[in-house]
Structure 1
Amino acid sequence: MLNETAYAKINLALHVRSRRHDGYHELETLFAFVDAGDVLIARVADQDRVTTTGEFASGIEKPFDNLVAKALAVLPRSQGLDITLEKNLPVAAGLGGGSADAGAVFRLVEQSHGLPDDWQKRAAKLGADVPSCVRSEMVIGRGTGTELEPVENDLAGTPVLLVNPRVPLSTGPVFKAWDQTDRGALPTGTARQIAENGRNDLEPPAFTLCPAIPEVLAVLGETKVWLTRMSGSGATCFALFDSIEDRDAAASHIETEHPQWWKLAGKLR
């Protein structure tokens, strides 16, 4: 039996530079990963199978049409894998949940059979976030997010709190509502410098589509946080803290003021 965590992905900064001719957008982003997320348990089987459990299992209507099944389909193996996916991350939440699940499948197959030499191309075909999720390490993404560059990670171990108002927000409408204004390149420097000096260009259109997001950010801003921002296309927001005590106090504040909101406490990888 093999186990993998599909680490929650967050965008510490996300700069949208232009709309491409293929309909996608030219991005510059700082990918980071939290040390918690969905959980995948795999067993060798005669054929591939996927079973979904957990709080957000109902968000995946067709188990064999999700990214776990699609990832299995693009990876050659001599044996099948029977995978149980414990869906702990909300769906359509800006956390790359499906991409993280696919990345975890790549690691499961790597453990049991190894990966083909062209695994990066196979991952990219599944989605722009999938290549970064395979290793789930802090990295800069360019192009559609599949062109990865190393970055000095001076944020490993940073306490982080994720908060989602339990409002699903699809990526397509958020990008469509972007005003197509290039506000400049991703900053240079260490991960902390990029995060502090960067921004998320999808916040304004996401705020319009989901007014609960600025409310989440405002409540997080009431705590001892040094950075709070929306992740990806929303609606999840993250907050970074200098200490576990400050993070846990913020989580308690959220629980008291907005017990209906989803939250996850962890550390950056």
Structure 2
Amino acid sequence: MIETAYAKINLALHVRKRRDDGYHELETLFAFVDAGDRLSVVPAAQDRLQVVGEFGGELADPFGNIVMQALATLRRPQGWAVTLEKNLPVAAGLGGGSADAGALFRLVEREYGLPADWHARAARLGADVPACVQSLACIGRGTGTELEPVENDLAGTPVLLVNPRVPLSTGPVFKAWDGLDRGAMPLGTAREIAFAGRNDLELPALQICHVIGEVLDRLRQTGATLVRMSGSGATCFALFGSAEDRSEAQQAMPADWWTLAGALR
């Protein structure tokens, strides 16, 4: 069995407050690109994981990988040998690990169905995992696990992801947030929310990783309809009116930056 772990982006990300439990109250618009990591599964005597691909070497401990954690939380009548082709950069604001776990949930669903409490099991693995299970545009509240449907009028939109190949951990970015509530995420369709929204983690991420500003500037010079940082960075995205404009923008990016051209699901 083969499944794509679709790259997650935050078309909008509003941070409202720090919670007493140490987490942050969020409002976000999740969207997914039609490309990402790749999981393949064959039956085995016991669960095991092999990590390959361009960024596979950055996952030093396969046994601590979120895919192995997802395998442990989803019982099956036989073991699975999973090969994870890691095409997405690590610590990049693309929900790579969460997307991998979400893809595994879909594989289990395809073969055996999911347990009734799959959402709770997914949330225990990470705040982005429930959204990544379905990998369709939706609104996330709370820590991101409280999901609501949204009218997805951005499906099929050409998108370019750009990462300067600088890993950026989520924790320090949230810690650098100034604590100011800049207002609720707007209501409406995915397009209306995305274009009227913002990413409150962009400024603290820029303070830690200055090259993000260069990525945003380069993307803004391409004629994109929307340019923003995803999640806690350092990946930025640009939406385009045509695949041709997206391709031209990708060619204009520095050769040593990672890019991925796709479309929103």
TM (norm. structure 2) is 0.99
Q: Please name the residue that 1:151 is paired with.
A: 150
Q: Percent identity?
A: 71
Deviations 1:201-243 (A, max 9, x none): 0001000100000100000011020000000000000000000
Deviation at 1:44, TM superposition (A): 1.2
Deviations 1:147-194 (A, max 9, x none): 000000000000000000000000000000000000000001110000
> Could you say what the CA RMSD is over the residues aligned between the two structures, in angstroms?
0.5
- 1:217-232 → structure 2 map (5 Å cutoff): 217-232=216-231
For the pair 1:179 / 2:178, whether they are aligned, the reply is yes
SS at match of 1:134: helix
Deviations 1:64-87 (A, max 9, x none): 101100000100111111100000
For the pair 1:263 / 2:229, whether they are aligned, the reply is no
Q: Please name the residue that 2:129 is paired with.
A: 130
Q: Please name the residue that 1:17 is paired with.
A: 16
Deviation at 1:45, TM superposition (A): 1.1
Q: Which amino acid aligns with 2:262?
A: G
Q: Which amino acid aligns with 1:266?
A: G
Provide the aligned length of Structure 1 versus Structure 2.
Answer: 265
SS at match of 2:186: coil
- 1:1-269 → structure 2 map (5 Å cutoff): 2-254=1-253, 258-269=254-265
TM (norm. structure 1) is 0.98
CA distance in 1, matches of 2:46, 2:73: 14
Deviation at 1:93, TM superposition (A): 0.1
* Structure 2: unaligned runs, 5 residues or longer: none
SS at match of 2:119: helix
CA distance in 2, matches of 1:16, 1:35: 27
Deviation at 1:46, TM superposition (A): 1.2
Deviation at 1:144, TM superposition (A): 0.1
